Structures are given as structure tokens and as C-alpha cells.
Amino acid sequence: MSENPERRPHDEVAGGTIPAVVRDDASAAFFDATARGKLWLRCCLRCQTILTPSARSCTACHGDALGDCRVAGRATLISWVVVYDPPTPVLADCVPYVVGIVEVEGGPWMVARIVAFDATLHVGSDLEVRFVDSGSKKPGEAVPVFVVT
């Protein structure tokens, strides 16, 4: 996989706050990577299908031997919504915000905030990952968000 073209960690991106997320054992490597401005996904060691970070087995061949896989962070937009009614109290300070399903280059879909765009969004919009610190009062991990390129 190629280098992330935007290697600045913790880009300052407009588009609302993101509540603090803390790591657990399963996500530690993922958040180690986001702290360095890199997006790590998972990859099937048998058929090389690129999978979401939380994948437990391969969606293509059902294999359960997975490894880490760094991706460039280019993506296209599959769907998006503008959330006005906070789905859960921790998001009360975030509304309204835009969240989408993005298809990361290589195949897997991720749910992520879409930030800092002027253009009208449409299915297939070209996106690129950025990383922002979650949490305001108490800091959390750096999390991926996507900007329109």
C-alpha cells in the first residue's frame, strides 16, 4: 500500500466536535496508527480482501486469519445524512453533523464524519481521510474523518 499522502497528524478540520473515544485491546493498533496520521484496515491473509478495522473474518472467503493493512485513505461516498436529532446523549453537542458511509479504496465500507466541504455531496464524491482528535473536555484517540477532494 502507498503512503498516506497527507501525513500531518491531527489535521485541524472544521465540521463539529467528535465525542471522546478510548481504545480497547482490539483497537489499540488501529489507534496507534491514527495517532501517526495513518489509516490501518484489516486484510485477509488467504485472499487479500481488504476489510474493515473491526472485521473478525473475511467477507469474501470467510477465512479468519487476518492481518493489518495500511491504506492510502482515498475513498468514495456511498451515502450520507445530516443528523439533527442526537441519536444518543453523547452526540448532543455535535448536531447538526454530516456522517456517511464511505467506500475506502480497495473495498471496505466505513462509517465516518464528512467534514469541511463546500460542494454538494453526491454518491461517488471523491474523499480523502484526515485525522482529528476526539473529545473536547477530556481528550480521546485520533479518529478518521473524510474530506471532499
Partner 1 sequence: MAGRVTASAIAGLGMSELGRVYDKSATSLAADAVRAALADAGLTLDDADGLLVSHGLANDVSVHLASVLGLHDLAVLAQVNAFGATAGVMIAMAAQAIDSGAASVIACVFADAPLRPRARSGTAYGGASRQLRGYSGLQTAAGVANPNTWYALAARRHMERYGTTSEQLGAIAVAQRTWAAGNPLATMRTPLTLADHQASRWIAEPLHLLDCCLVTNGAIAVVVTSAGSAAHMNRPPVHIWGCGQAHTLRQMHAGSSWGLVTGAVGAGRQAMSMAGISPGDVTVCQLYDCYTYTVLVTLEDYGFCAKGEGGPFVADGRLAPGGTLPCNTGGGQLSGYYMWGMTPLAEAVIQARRDGGMRQVPNPEIVLVSGNGGILEHHSTLVLSPHRRTV
Query: Residue 100 has which C-alpha cell?
Result: 456517511
Distance CA 115, CA 36 (A): 20
Q: Which helix (H) or strand (E) is 31 found in, with range?
A: helix 28-35
Distance CA 83, CA 99 (A): 7
The CB-of-115 to partner 1 minimum distance in angstroms stands at 11
Q: Which helix (H) or strand (E) is 58 found in, with range?
A: none
Based on the shown chain and the rule CB under 8 A, indicate whether residue 30 belongs to the binding site for partner 1.
yes
* 89 contacts: CB under 8 Å, gap ≥ 6: none
The end-to-end CA distance of the chain, in Å, is: 20
Based on the shown chain and the rule CB under 8 A, indicate whether residue 147 belongs to the binding site for partner 1.
no
Binds partner 1 (CB under 8 A): choice among 69, 113, 129, 133:
113
Residue with cell 482529528: 132
Based on the shown chain and the rule CB under 8 A, indicate whether residue 45 belongs to the binding site for partner 1.
no
Count of residues touching partner 1 (by CB under 8 A): 50
Based on the shown chain and the rule CB under 8 A, indicate whether residue 86 belongs to the binding site for partner 1.
yes
Based on the shown chain and the rule CB under 8 A, indicate whether residue 140 belongs to the binding site for partner 1.
yes
Based on the shown chain and the rule CB under 8 A, indicate whether residue 78 belongs to the binding site for partner 1.
yes
Question: Would you say 80 or 117 has its CB closer to partner 1?
Answer: 80
Query: Residue 120 has which C-alpha cell?
Result: 454538494
Distance CA 115, CA 93 (A): 16
Binding string, residues 93-112; x marks residues near partner 1 by CB under 8 A? -x--x-xxx-x---xxxxxx
Based on the shown chain and the rule CB under 8 A, indicate whether residue 73 belongs to the binding site for partner 1.
no
Q: Kindly list the residues in this chain that would bind partner 1 in the complex (CB under 8 A).
A: 18-24, 26-27, 30, 49, 51-54, 59-60, 78-91, 94, 97, 99-101, 103, 107-113, 122-123, 134, 140, 143, 145
